[in-house]
Structures are given as C-alpha cells and as structure tokens.
C-alpha cells in the first residue's frame, strides 16, 4: 500500500500559496484494508476515508467510467489501479501532480510546466465526461488569471454544444459561481465561459448583456457586458463580499430586455432587472440574503446614483424601500455595490462615490428620530407611522442643509 498527497495541496505548495486542505490517494489497497487500520469510511458515490488521527481525507486510487448524460461512476474496488491511472481522471494537469512521503513529485502530465507557464490544460479526453469541469476551468482562471490552453478551450467549446451543461444541478452551478466570485479575478470566470460558449448555455441572462449599447456619456465602454465585467473587477479590487460581487454581477440584467427603438437609453431597466434577478436566484437556488441584496441593487441603483439630487422626502422613501431602518447594516453592502457600478466604467481614472457618505449621513439623521417619543405623544396605529415618516423627513431636511452649508 502506497500513500500520496495529491491535487490542490501539491499545486499550492509549488506556487508558494497557503495550503488549507490536504487530500491523499491510496494505491494498492481495498476498503477493508483501510477500515482495518482504523480509517472511517464516508461518502456513498465512492469510498473516502478519514484518517483516525488527522481526519484528513484519503481516497482509494480509482478510474472513472461514464454512465449516461451528466452521471459518472468510479472503478475502485481493486488493488490494481495505478497512481498514473488515478491522476489521469483529474481535470487539469496542474491538479494532477502527486507527492510521495519522501517529497518526490510524480508528474506524468507535466503539470509543473503548465504552472510555470500559467496554462490551464486538461489531462485527458476524459475531461469531457463531467460538464461541471467547464465551470471549474473558468473558476481556476478567476483564481490564478491563467490562460486556457487552445486544445482545452476547443474541448470546452464542444462540450458547450452538446446540451450536457443543462443537466448540471442548479446547486452545483451556484456553488461554482459562488466560489468563482470569491476569487481575485472574478471577471475571468465570465470571460472564459463566454469564450467557449458556456455562458449562453448556463447563464443566458448574462450572455445577452454583451452587445447591448449604453450612452457613451456615462459609459465610454458602451457595451453593457463589458461594463458588467469592469464593475465586477472593481468589486474584487475593493474587497467586496461575495454578496456584493453577486449583486454587481446581476445589477444590469434588465438592459438586455430594452426595446431596440429606445437604445442606447434603458428606461425602466431597473424594475425589469429586479424581476430577472429574482428569476435567476430562484433557478439556481441562491441563498435568500444574497438574493435580497441583488434584487435591491438592481431595482434602486440608479436612484442611489442620483441621491445628491433627491428631495428629503424622496430620500426617506428610498431608505424605507431599502428597509434601511430595520436593517441598517445592509446599507453598506448596497452602497458598495452601487459604488462598483459607478466606478466600473471605461473612464480609466479612479473616481470617488460621494453618494455613499451622503446617504449614510442622511440615514443616521433619520434613525436618530425617536419613535418611542412619537408613541408617547398619544398617537396610535397608522398615525404613528405617518408621524414617524414626517419626523424623519424633517430630520433629513435639516441634515441636507447642514451638508450643503459645509460645502
């Protein structure tokens, strides 16, 4: 029985990156052998075992066999599967490097060369047996900013035309999208998917944004899809959370539905976009908190951009629509997403986003109104709500005057 460290841990150590999870492959053993040594078996699709002391995952060397559209099985119940056969089933050469207990590297598919050259290359033609690997390649591009080998891109393009991408479970697609958004270069995820035709197959509402024009005065980049990529890159640059990045990704979905006779203007795209964001999130079963922020940003980002022009009564109504009085902590994420939208444009120079501190100051003033004081004045029912709304408008009016006087 031989044990090797494999996959991401080996890759990341070679890159000088922190190693978080270690995976091991066992050659020349059966499930019974590992159980006898105290390993605990987990998993049903194929046997993975937890080490009795470290609790790290150990998997038996195995080969894959396809069993119909969107389904893969494994051959593992034999001691004759070699390390090279196990590595051959992996997705990319950079993930198909193993290390023995003496620190020797086993690299039959030249993964180290591809690491050095910054290339994402599939190991064998078996890559095409799992459509999720198309998204994984795009996600690794988002992590490392590597280019995809031409032969791998061609294979991904073929896979995108077979219809198998549509068989992926929505939860698996969301998991890959969520992980890609967390990476350093999330826009690369979208770019790679689009370059092989997978964006239209998996995320058609995003794919339709490309080629949609916008007014050059506000969007020198013109193309709505290009703007989406610029805004998404900005959200990564400023360290936005996954929730913020997701909202930025979807904020302009409604522009793809604009009637051609009014282009490049997009009247009403906010409400159309909010509906499309809701549909997107329902399909991919996006967590409620992530969905809610994305819907709010899609619906209100233009009004937030215009905050400095709005009357106090409109500002209070906006804050009420954003549920900012009950959930004041969420306003920071909303404003950051709007900031990324505003700054993620083709102007080429950094800009500030004064709407953010302005709206925070307005919210602080409105929240300072004491609701209990209004109740204690003897008002009841709906009268309390009306009086509170008026008091907030008065507080915001005073705050706006103070801000303008300072300027």
User: Which CATH number goes with the domain that contains 47?
Assistant: 3.30.460.10
Domain that holds residue 296: 233-350
Residues 281 and 391 in one domain: no
Residues 13 and 96 in one domain: yes
CA 351 to mean position of chain CA atoms:
25
Residue at 187 is within a domain:
no
Residues 53 and 113 in one domain: yes
Residues 264 and 376 in one domain: no
Q: Are strands 105-106 and 119-120 parallel, antiparallel or unpaired?
A: unpaired
Residue at 153 is within a domain:
no
Residues 316 and 402 in one domain: no
Residue at 314 is within a domain:
yes
Residues 396 and 327 in one domain: no
DSSP per-residue codes, 98-166: EE-TTS-EE-TT-HHHHHHHTEE-BSSGGGGG-THHHHHHHHHHHHH-PEEPHHHHHHHHHHHTSSGGG
Residue at 80 is within a domain:
yes
- State which of 124, 154, 179 marks the end of a domain: 124
The count of domains in the chain is 3
- State which of 67, 92, 124 marks the end of a domain: 124
Residue at 70 is within a domain:
yes
Residues 341 and 395 in one domain: no
Residues 313 and 392 in one domain: no
Per-residue pLDDT of the chain (407 residues; tens, 9 = 90+): 899 999 899 999 999 999 888 889 999 888 889 999 999 988 666 678 999 998 888 988 887 655 444 444 444 445 578 899 999 989 999 999 999 999 999 999 999 999 999 999 999 998 998 999 999 999 999 999 999 999 999 999 999 999 999 999 999 999 999 999 999 999 999 999 999 999 999 999 999 999 999 999 989 999 999 999 999 999 999 999 999 999 999 999 999 999 999 999 999 999 999 999 999 999 999 999 999 999 999 999 999 999 999 999 999 999 999 999 999 999 999 999 999 999 999 887 667 899 999 999 999 999 999 887 877 777 777 888 899 899 999 999 999 999 988 76
- State which of 124, 157, 188 marks the end of a domain: 124
Residues 330 and 380 in one domain: no
């Amino acid at each position: 029985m031989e044990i090797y460290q494999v996959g991401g841990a080996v890759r990341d150590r070679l890159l000088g990156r922190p190693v978080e999870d270690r995976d091991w492959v066992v050659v020349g053993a059966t499930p019974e052998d590992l159980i006898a040594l105290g390993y605990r078996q987990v998993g049903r699709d194929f046997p993975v075992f937890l080490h009795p002391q470290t609790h790290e995952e150990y998997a038996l060397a195995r080969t894959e066999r396809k069993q119909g559209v969107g389904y893969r099985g494994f051959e593992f119940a034999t001691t004759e599967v070699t390390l090279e056969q196990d590595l051959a089933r992996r997705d990319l050469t950079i993930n198909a490097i193993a290390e023995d207990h003496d620190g020797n590297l086993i690299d039959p598919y030249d993964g180290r060369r591809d690491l050095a050259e910054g290339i994402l290359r599939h190991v064998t033609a078996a890559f095409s047996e799992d459509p999720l690997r198309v998204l994984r390649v795009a996600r690794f591009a988002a992590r490392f900013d590597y280019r995809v080998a031409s032969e791998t891109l061609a294979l991904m393009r073929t896979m995108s035309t077979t219809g198998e991408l549509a068989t992926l479970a929505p939860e698996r697609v969301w998991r890959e999208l969520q992980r890609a958004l967390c990476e350093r270069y999330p826009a690369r995820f979208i770019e790679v998917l689009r370059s092989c035709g997978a964006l239209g197959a998996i995320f058609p509402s995003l794919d339709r944004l490309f080629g949609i024009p916008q007014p050059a005065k506000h969007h020198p980049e013109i193309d709505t899809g290009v703007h989406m990529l610029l805004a998404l890159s900005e959200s990564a640059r400023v360290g936005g959370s996954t929730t913020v990045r997701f909202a930025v990704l979807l904020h302009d979905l409604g522009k793809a539905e604009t009637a051609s006779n009014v282009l490049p203007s997009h009247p009403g795209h906010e409400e159309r976009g909010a509906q499309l964001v809701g549909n997107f999130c329902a399909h991919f079963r996006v967590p409620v908190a992530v969905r809610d922020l994305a819907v709010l940003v899609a619906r209100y980002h233009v009004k937030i951009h215009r905050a400095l022009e709005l009357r106090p009564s409109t500002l209070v109504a906006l804050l009420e629509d954003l549920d900012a009085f009950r959930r004041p902590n969420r306003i920071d994420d909303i404003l950051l997403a709007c900031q990324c939208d505003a700054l993620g444009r083709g102007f080429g120079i950094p800009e500030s986003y004064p709407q953010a501190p302005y709206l925070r100051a307005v919210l602080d003033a409105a929240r300072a109104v004491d609701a209990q004081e209004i109740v204690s004045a003897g008002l009841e029912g709906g009268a309390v709500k009306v009086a509170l709304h008026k008091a907030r408008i008065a507080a915001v009016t005073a705050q706006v005057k103070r801000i303008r006087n300072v300027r």
